[in-house]
Structure 1
Amino acid sequence: MAETEMMLMRRGHRIEGEAQDCRSQRYHQDEDSSEDSAGDSSSDEEDTESLTSEASEMSENKGTRRSRRSKVTAATSEDLEASSESYFRAHSGGVVTSDHTLSRLAKPKMDQKELDTILRTAENSNNDEKENLYVEHTRLFHKWMVQLSNGFNLLLYGLGSKRHLMESFRSKHLLDFHHIVINGFFPSLAIRQILSAISEDVLESKVTARGQQEQLELIKSELEKKNEPVFIILHNIDGPILRVTKNQNLLSSLAQISCVHMIASIDHINAPLIWDQGRFCCFNWLWYDVTSYQDYTEETSYENSLLVRQSGALTLSSINHVLKSVPPNVQGVFNILVEAQLEHKDDISYSGMTFQDLYQRCREAFYVSSDLTLRAQLTEFKDHKLLTFKKGIDGAELLSIPVESSTLQEFKQEDM
């Protein structure tokens, strides 16, 4: 019994010792873990502080960069303003132009006759080459006749005047047919003249109509009844008067008539732009390049030249051209107006001849038989801007020619 108790006591002491050892080990482990946690927290605080410092440094760097950029931008804008100001300051002076003008020439300007004489006597270069081109184009005449008879119309283009070539074609192939020649470059040309020429020269009758469209319909019906070919030679269909849309519509309608055949020329670089698709189809053109390098002598005779002294020569040529296209009795009416205006050329208060006075003098000269006939004849000159109508103080109708007296005097001398 005593031995058993002793063994139990020793085992109890051993168990208590082991328990104390376990407690001490746990205590030491807890202290180590607390120290480690304290170290970890301190390291985290250090990392946070370092990140905060880096962020502040980056923000400071960005601010520095922005300030530098703003300084550079401001400097650049200032430089641009300075350079632009210096540029406009340098070019703000007066524009320097040459003083070599026509007025400095020994003979700065001449009259129209002198200019025409100089142009005629001037030497032409490459005459042989021009002649070869002309001969080459004349070989197309028979082909043109075949194409015209098959319902096509011809449009001639190219550098140089085509007037001589078209006149040659007319004289060689069209003399046996009804044909009319139209100078589209004439500045006072009216579409009504073209329709009247067809009525009088081809139909040999005066078609009376209220408007141009009605007159065109009457001409169309009469031509279809006769069923004879009519050739229209139209120099410069792109002329300043004919290029108007209304006139082009009438010409395209005229070209659609089965017995009408048209040969036209163009010289303006933008001439095809005057036709839309509808009018272009109505004309049914065949295009031919007939470059001739010939001078535009006739086509430019009505244009103002810088070398010509403006003394009424252009107006005088217009008057002569219009009078050649009217009957003798209409020419007589115009001469009465010219004489009346020259009689009062020194009278400042003279505003024109009254219609009644003109009618009375025309009746005495047997130019007209009624006032309606006289008005119809005066419309020809009004359309060409060679006559103006206005009301007087007493309500009377006054007629005057808007041309200088010196030009009218020159016209009378030529007429005599």
Structure 2
Amino acid sequence: MDINGEEEDEEFEFSRDYFLAKESGSSSRKKSTNKLSDIDVVDEQELRAAASNIEPKHEKEIAALIDSYKNKYSEWVFALRCGFSLLMYGFGSKKTMLEDFASTALTEYSVVVINGYLQAVNLKQVVIALAEVLSEQVKPKRRVSSGDFPRSNQPFSSQSIENLLAYLDGAETEEEDCFVCVLIHNIDGPGLRDSETQQYLARLAACSHIRIVASIDHMFAPLLWDKKMVHRQFNWCWHHVPTFAPYKVEGMFYPLILAHGGAHQSVKTATVVLQSLTPNAQSVFKVLAEHQLSHPDEEGNFCLSFSGMPINDLYSVCRERFLVSSQVTLNSHLTEFKDHELVKIKRHSDGQDCLHIPLAAEALQKVLQEINQ
């Protein structure tokens, strides 16, 4: 008796019955008539309002976890002083943690923030701001022959990004530990993830007077860089710092799948953005908002008769109220406003750059009420 033959016949019968069953089952099943277009999408503001009412969980545990990372602040500062850049990864928003690190452990250094979660980021404006900040730091230590200024006598705003990067790498300082820290929330975000921008960021990180502290959240973020960028330019020091905190601010700038997208910036979005900024930045915005509300004839879209608030006037008022100490400080606030689309700028017929908040008077009043609470 051939036992092996019987086993092979049984396996063959089982395989045949299996495929016959699958064939008969698939022919009897009806195809679904549902379509993606049949989904009843809701208004984006209603969906965001419903999402904001979801009760948060494990707040105490999340706060304790984030607080535990403070023990590593001194280690992180030491790595920056040694020439490394810091890359934070792990599940959860790292925005609050990194801003706390910058405000408590990097008080000896200037810090410039880039919000990579925005849909568009003006990288050249960031590099100009860095050059201006570094210039203020080395100004008291310059010697006539030091050659700290860019090769041309043009202001930083009219310099090419190549010249600006050369300045950031070559400015001479008496202190070896002199650098400007660039804090990048979501270096893998939509406004920064293209190849050209990443190349410029890598070159920026390689400048002798620049240090980068960045966060990533996409699982494929390391694919943005080649071996040279990782080890020779960014010189990353990787830190696993999961926070499990919700992406509240970052999520405000991503369209919701089951919602209609709004064409105008909402009061809620503006409020969330302003609440994430420093008190001084909020006060500067209030000055501009109060001016716009007191000039109702100028409200609305940009047109031939629009004047807005000149930047020089805003600087004068903010200087009188001790909100800013220099034009560089005001420019950094305005750059953040423009990146978040809180403010628009138009050059008036007399050559002045004028500022306008793209919100109706009623909406602007609600924003002021929210941030004043």
Would the TM-score normalized by the shorter structure come out above 0.5? yes
**DSSP-derived class of the 1:139 partner:** helix
> Which residue does 2:108 correspond to in 1?
176
CA distance in 1, matches of 2:35, 2:118: 40
Provide structure 1 residue ranges, at least 5 long, that are not aligned to the other structure. 1-79, 344-350, 369-376, 390-398
1:241 to 191, 194, 197: 191
**DSSP-derived class of the 1:261 partner:** strand
Residues 119-130 of structure 1: matches in 2 within 5 Å?
119=54, 122-125=55-58, 127-128=60-61, 130=62
> Which residue does 2:234 correspond to in 1?
283
Q: Kindly state the Cα deviation for residue 275 of structure 1 after the two structures are TM-superposed.
A: 0.9
Q: Kindly state the Cα deviation for residue 289 of structure 1 after the two structures are TM-superposed.
A: 0.6
Closer/same/farther in 2, CA of residues 402 and 273 from structure 1, 3 Å limit: farther
Q: What one-letter code is carried by the residue in structure 2 that aligns with 1:134?
A: I
Closer/same/farther in 2, CA of residues 190 and 100 from structure 1, 3 Å limit: closer
1:302 to 247, 253, 260: 253
CA distance in 2, matches of 1:140, 1:96: 51
> Which residue does 1:411 correspond to in 2?
364
> Which residue does 1:209 correspond to in 2?
158
CA distance in 1, matches of 2:50, 2:362: 20
Greater RCO (CA < 8 Å, at least 6 residues apart)? 2
CA distance in 2, matches of 1:289, 1:240: 22
Closer/same/farther in 2, CA of residues 260 and 383 from structure 1, 3 Å limit: closer
Closer/same/farther in 2, CA of residues 112 and 254 from structure 1, 3 Å limit: same
**DSSP-derived class of the 2:113 partner:** strand
Contact 2:182–2:213 (CA under 8 A) maintained in structure 1: yes
CA distance in 2, matches of 1:318, 1:211: 34
CA distance in 1, matches of 2:36, 2:259: 24
The TM-score with structure 2 as length reference comes to: 0.60
User: What per-residue deviation string (whole Å, max 9, x for no partner) do you get for residues 161-199 of structure 1?
Assistant: 112222232233211222223222233321123213213
Q: How much is the aligned-residue C-alpha RMSD, in angstroms?
A: 5.0
The answer to whether residue 198 in structure 2 is matched with residue 259 in structure 1 is: no
Residues 17-416 of structure 1: matches in 2 within 5 Å?
91=30, 94-95=33-34, 110=46, 115-116=51-52, 118-119=53-54, 122-125=55-58, 127-128=60-61, 130-204=62-136, 207-222=156-171, 227=176, 228-280=178-230, 281-305=232-256, 310=262, 312-313=265-266, 316=270, 342=299, 353-354=303-304, 357-358=305-306, 410-411=363-364, 414=367
CA distance in 2, matches of 1:362, 1:151: 42
Closer/same/farther in 2, CA of residues 300 and 229 from structure 1, 3 Å limit: same
> Which residue does 1:50 correspond to in 2?
none
**DSSP-derived class of the 1:298 partner:** helix
Contact 2:89–2:238 (CA under 8 A) maintained in structure 1: yes
Contact 1:179–1:233 (CA under 8 A) maintained in structure 2: yes
Q: Kindly state the Cα deviation for residue 265 of structure 1 after the two structures are TM-superposed.
A: 0.7
Query: Once the two structures are aligned, what percentage of the paired residues are identical?
Result: 23
Closer/same/farther in 2, CA of residues 341 and 162 from structure 1, 3 Å limit: same
Closer/same/farther in 2, CA of residues 151 and 388 from structure 1, 3 Å limit: closer
Give the structure with higher Rg (CA).
1
Q: What one-letter code is carried by the residue in structure 2 that aligns with 1:246?
A: E
**DSSP-derived class of the 1:299 partner:** helix
Closer/same/farther in 2, CA of residues 181 and 325 from structure 1, 3 Å limit: farther
CA distance in 2, matches of 1:331, 1:199: 26
Q: What one-letter code is carried by the residue in structure 1 that aligns with 2:166?
A: E
Contact 1:155–1:263 (CA under 8 A) maintained in structure 2: yes
CA distance in 2, matches of 1:87, 1:113: 43
Provide structure 2 residue ranges, at least 5 long, that are not aligned to the other structure. 1-19, 140-154, 316-330, 347-353
CA distance in 2, matches of 1:279, 1:114: 42
**DSSP-derived class of the 2:233 partner:** helix
CA distance in 2, matches of 1:164, 1:352: 36
Contact 2:288–2:314 (CA under 8 A) maintained in structure 1: no
CA distance in 1, matches of 2:345, 2:157: 24
CA distance in 1, matches of 2:182, 2:134: 11
CA distance in 1, matches of 2:158, 2:44: 51
Structure with more helix by fraction:
1
Q: Kindly state the Cα deviation for residue 246 of structure 1 after the two structures are TM-superposed.
A: 1.9
Q: What one-letter code is carried by the residue in structure 1 that aligns with 2:33?
A: G
